[in-house]
Structure 1
Amino acid sequence: MSALDETHDPGRISWVDGAALGSDFPVQNLPLGIFSDGKGQRRPGVAIGDFILDLAATGDLLDESWRNDLAQPVLNAWLARGTDDHRALRQRLFEMLTNERYRDDLEMSLIGQSEVRMHLPCLIGDYSDFYVGIHHATNVGKQFRPDNPLLPNYKYLPIGYHGRASSVRASGEPVVRPNGQRKPPDADAPEYGPSRRLDYELELGLWIGRGNDLGQPIPIAEADEHIAGFCLLNDWSARDLQAWEYQPLGPFLAKNFLTSVSPWVVTAEALAPFRRPMPARPEGDPEPLPYLAGDGGSAALGIELEVTLSTEKMRDAGLAPHRLSRGSAAAAMYWSAAQIVTHHASNGCNLQPGDLIGTGTLSTDSDDGLGSLIEISRGGKRPMALPGGETRSFLEDGDEITLKAWCERDGAVRIGFGECVGRVVAALGA
């Protein structure tokens, strides 16, 4: 687990405009991402205030051994280097961005975030999605199994499935309403057409740094060393397609049409001040099996999460986005990030640098913190009222969902994740 050092000092500020307290990207954050502008190829940058520091343009200010990996169009090679190099780069960037003597050398390498296009930070070899939000699992389970919402294995292992890496996209990608088979409960046979119950899912994503060899598990005490950073993740879901297809093998076409992620890798080092103990398990719940137990798996993430919805009618009327939920990741996750990674590799599965892992939908035990519309609308039975007189049970064409996340506590500088945005457009052929 990353330790606190001078890069977390709340008294230090950057000379870069827009990096003051309250920004998503103060000098205590320094997330990495891949961007392009009108002048060059995709390349790595670090967010600082309202700007991006072009790492490929920093010349001999960075260690020579890092330069090739920090000039690539994806971060896979850099993430593979592991935590020692990640910490060293963070410390060097912190030094340069807080010391005025570097201003003349670096100002020409700063580009406004509004002037660039952000891309996926990694070439994703594999994407897996988990189901560690216990309140979400309970809420959805009650709609299908009122007397027994959680399946017997839920409190013994982190449940997950393998997603589709090819359809993961950076924030801003249009959400094309998927077509597929759907069968209403009272219908004799299924029909094919656009999903009528399109939903979002509020999740966190984990970016894998150093991988493991095939056949070699990752011990729980070492799991954090394999997590390079985090992002926001929206696993768009067609609930009507999902209800018909998921038995017996689980999610398929209802989820693989698009997964959106925020473009910045918020590093494990930046999150060090916001680690906290996992909440105590309710009395009577089983303790984790030994391979998932121990100090390495006991750290929760003190991350606040928020979702807003803006409809086309709301935007035309100049109305502000409507907040759907706000809650804490720590209060939502039954299994920790380290336990997810250890379980994923426990059978010898080889994780690789740049792999993406989703937590699953993160809902709190309050109606104010629900992470999907299937929960908010109680499966469509309780439509939600919106500003301007509209209602929603599920997403309509023109609706835009925005995920946000940030960390804050006394004695530390607030850091943010940026946004993960997606706007629904009509199904092809509709």
Structure 2
Amino acid sequence: MKQEKINRNYEIARERFAELGIDTETAISALQKLSLSLHCWQTDDVSGFENPDGSLSGGIQATGNYPGKARNIDEVRADIEKVNTLIPGNHRLSLHAIYGDFKGKKVDRNEIEPEHFQSWIDWAKLNNMKLDFNSTSFSHSKSGNLSLSNRDKGIRDFWIEHTIRSRRIADEMGRQLKSKACHNLWIHDGSKDITVDRYLYRSLLKDSLDKIFENKFTNVKDAVECKLFGTGLESFTVGSHEFYMGYAMKNGLMATLDMGHFHPTEETYDKISSLLLFSPEIMLHVSRPVRWDSDHVVILNDSVQMLAQEIIWANALERVNVGLDYFDASINRIGAYVIGIRATQKAFLQALLTPIKKLREYEASEQGFERLALLEESKTLPWNDVYNYFCMLNNVPVAEDYISEVEKYEKEVTSKR
């Protein structure tokens, strides 16, 4: 799309929003400050660099075999660098512990050190990115069905040590990059069939968490993530929403809300205002479940739009850490990355450009018809012309222009892997 047309459309959109009392420049400025935490595992289907075969276990599954998967640390980084040229704004990168720079050596999970991620820190500095981190309980010989809640003390101790070390790595990332790193703790622990000792397993998990969080790190934002169920662990999840919400509130941690970790009839957005009343910050994993936690590529659907609206309308953008979490191996992985990132940004821009002041006036006056009518009209306001202008300001492809860039990268790079 030509610059002249982008500018012309933006001016028309700016005037339209001004009629409703909305300043598009203010919205653009707010969106520019929104740093999404991009998930490195979209590039390689959550394989990591520990095992040559990259086999997954512990309720993790990436479906599809589209060619061009990143096979090593250099290819993962190259793919992320390419993605950064196709999305507006400055963003973070979230790493799992299995993505260490182990230089071909066998380093078990309870042995990882900040040195194994120093090259990531150096790379992040060069690419103007900040880093977040995740301990990794899945795809390991000691994963089984239970890790931090295992009856075997030796296995629990192994994963406790791993998680403490992961938090220490996150602290070093935050220190060197001068931005606190979010450390997210998610484990797959559960049972496929009926469980008769739920209290025991949750007691063991609580005890493990108490040991993990004994030490505080200055440069870390700690988060714990719940789940409804996992593949092969459908009947019982130790780390349920109620468990982690209680633990987070009691211990001053962030609760992570993953859009795919709740019942299909639940909407994640409705939980945000409740948590923010009792917690200074929360963490989000933006995903798209289809009937279950299938981590489809994020699109601009109602769930994502309502999520962004709740955050913006609660004036909580600085209190919510927004990360992405999906891994689709059935389509071009770089394209999947870009689609999801842009969809998330568009949802936030839409929320920023909603005439919320007038809507609140209608609601306070119990003018239900007027409120609903304006909400519906807001859906078709020319917000996309503002997003195109935002892309142009950031010198990245506008509208569908990124498609050809992804195709070119596939032809020149990923198809040769």
Bin of the TM-score, shorter chain as denominator length: under 0.3
Task: Give the TM-score of the pair, scaled to structure 1.
Answer: 0.25
Q: Choose between structure 1 and 2: higher strand proportion.
A: 1
Task: Give the TM-score of the pair, scaled to structure 2.
Answer: 0.26
Q: Choose between structure 1 and 2: higher helix proportion.
A: 2
